[in-house]
Amino acid sequence: MEVTWAGNVEMHVRASDWFRHNHQHDAAYDSVVLHVVLVADAIIRHPSGEPIKTALMRIPPDIMERYRELAGASATNLTSIRCTAHIPELPKVIMQDWLTALATQRLSDKTRRIRDLVDDGANSWQEAFYVILARSLGTGINSDTFERLARSLPFAFLQKHLDDPLQVRALLLGQAGLIPADAPRLQQEYAFLRAKFSLTPLPPASWRQAKRRPQAAPELRIEALATLLSSHPNLFSEVLDAADADALQRLFTLPKHIGRQTAQSIIINAVAPILLAFGQWKLDESLTERALALLEHLPAEANRYITGWKAAGYESNNAFETQALLHLYREYCEPHKCMECRIGCWLIRNQARPVRQCRDEE
């Protein structure tokens, strides 16, 4: 007589992982009807004492060996790009499709954060753009602190004083805890505005000063933000109206404050995501298409991640691809998720030669 089983399936590498994960104490696992394992080193039972049926996975030894060489825990450095030796062998269509998916993932993550900012900021897109603009000026090392600064000093407060550049500087530098000791006028202005808006400044120790280029000093980047906001009181509207990447480049390039490379970073990390999020919210395909076109138009970024991929045999053509490669490294290579990566799966499935392990850059 045929029997149909209805219930859940649980998968583990070892059957004993059931106990290691304490499933025997969780009633949610009482409905499991099949336990799929690679190593059957324990008998798992229902609360009634009846053994749970177990299915043993069979993986060909050569496939398992390639997996261990590619993603095994034996390597001491989990941040290596393990597939370096085989990047040139990948079919172009595999790499291009995967990069498109990765860039989409990264943009989706950013637009989700922007929508959260809009919801937190009384549905103000100007407020959300101000926060991600500030974050983009942090250049990684101080991005989180720049976001904290912007969140602690709402754009609505700054907006009341955009016609006075001195007060904008005082608000931003004072709120960052970075007004120079020899700037009594700025200190005086901030003391007045701090009391007016009941502000609590960030501790100066919040800012990381090491391992950054001199032009990326927090004080200089905050001065740049102040100048940008004072010079363009309707900055978000100007971004929406900008015709193309060149117009945006001119908008964000400020003599002595923001150079071409920093302006491009702002467009990549703040402008393109806000255009995509705003376009999705308005159901305006022209805005979403502009966001993607910006990344395809801008040159490839230059950083240690992209240098690593270039050394591995893949040279980026534009910012769309570098954003994808950055996402690939951080979300798949660094956390060691080779089996969730299309490159790793292709290499194992197509019986690639043993993957040599590669050291990171010295």
What is the model's pLDDT at position 131? 96
Task: Identify the top-confidence range among 27-31, 138-142, 229-233.
Answer: 229-233
pLDDT in tens, 270-292: 999 999 999 999 999 999 999 99
- 3 vs 320: CA distance, rounded Å: 53
**What gap in Å lies between CA 118 and CA 121, rounded to an integer?**
5
Predicted confidence at residue 361, as pLDDT, reads 35
**What pLDDT is stored for residue 141 in this prediction?**
87
Instruction: Select the more confidently predicted residue: 303 or 165.
Output: 165
- pLDDT at residue 357 in the model: 42
Spatial separation of the C-alpha atoms in residues 222 and 186, rounded to whole Å: 14
Which residues partner with 254 through β-bridges?
Answer: 258
pLDDT of residue 264: 95
**pLDDT tier at 42 (50, 70, 90 boundaries)?**
very high
| Residue with token string 């798949």 | 332
Q: Which CA distances in Å does 28 have to 8, 9, 33, 37?
A: 10, 12, 12, 19
Do the Cβ atoms of 340 and 57 come closer than 8 Å? no
* Residue, of 256 and 253, whose pLDDT is higher: 253
Q: pLDDT of 190-199, one tens digit each?
A: 999 999 999 9
Q: What is the tens place of the pLDDT at every residue in 292-322?
A: 999 999 999 988 889 888 888 888 999 999 9
Amino acid 101: pLDDT: 96
What are 81-111's pLDDT values in tens digits? 778 877 888 888 999 999 999 999 999 999 9
Query: What mean pLDDT value characterizes the chain?
Result: 88
From residue 33, alpha-carbon distances to 5, 24, 53 in Å are 7, 14, 7
Q: What is the pLDDT of residue 351?
A: 57
Reported pTM: 0.80
3-state SS assignment for residue 244: coil
Residue 358, pLDDT above cutoff 60: no
- Indicate whether 74 pLDDT > 50: no
> pLDDT tier at 21 (50, 70, 90 boundaries)?
very high
Name all contacts of 97-101 with Cβ < 8 Å and 24+ positions apart. 97/342, 98/324, 98/328, 98/341, 98/342, 98/343, 99/320, 99/321, 99/324, 99/325, 99/328, 100/324, 101/342
Q: Of how many residues is the chain composed?
A: 362
